[in-house]
Amino acid sequence: MKTLIVLLALATASISLNAQKSQPTYVITKNDTIFFKKLNEGVYNMKGVTVSNQKVSIPNHEVLAYSNHGKRMDKMPLYLDNKNTGNYVMMELVFNTSKIRVFKYEYYNALMECTDAIFSFYTENQCIQTQINPNLAQIKNTILEFKVAAQPLLTSE
């Protein structure tokens, strides 16, 4: 019985690892989109080996979006208390439908000595709401509220 459980756990782990590998690794800049075999995210540059075996280094300030290890990151405006700060940061795309996108930005909160997360909800490239450290139920409720509000009214004519 233990052997069966271990085999199932290994099979599940290998499937999830293969799912991450199947996602393309790329960097989007203002002028180009580059696909990579291997990509390393650094403090100042992104360095990697392209699919044509060239070594490439791209300064982080030129990166508009990238995908690495199954995560999609986009340079988005940072909103605090639903107000634009004027700063742009890399945020992880955590939920996406045709009507709403949810991005997560993590940062170190020195006062609380922990990592905090800001979730930004976008529709048509407009930030409609931000939440700091929400739980999963709060995120789901916000998405459901928006979907209900966005539904056209049905009329019987």
Torsional class of 46: left (φ above 0), alpha (ψ -120 to 50), beta (otherwise): beta
Confidence of residue 149 (pLDDT cuts 50, 70, 90): low
Segments making up each domain of the chain, as ranges: 1-69, 76-150
Tokens 């990509």, residue located: 39
Whether the CB-CB separation of 54 and 38 falls below 8 Å is answered with: no
The string of pLDDT tens digits covering residues 116-137 is 999 999 988 889 999 999 999 9
CA nearest to 119, candidates 61, 107, 108, 111: 107
What dotted CATH number matches 1-69?
Answer: 2.30.30
Considering Cα of 58, then 60, then 64, then 69, what sign does the dihedral take?
A: positive
The string of pLDDT tens digits covering residues 13-35 is 444 444 445 789 999 999 999 99
- The rounded percent of the chain whose pLDDT value lies above 70 is 80
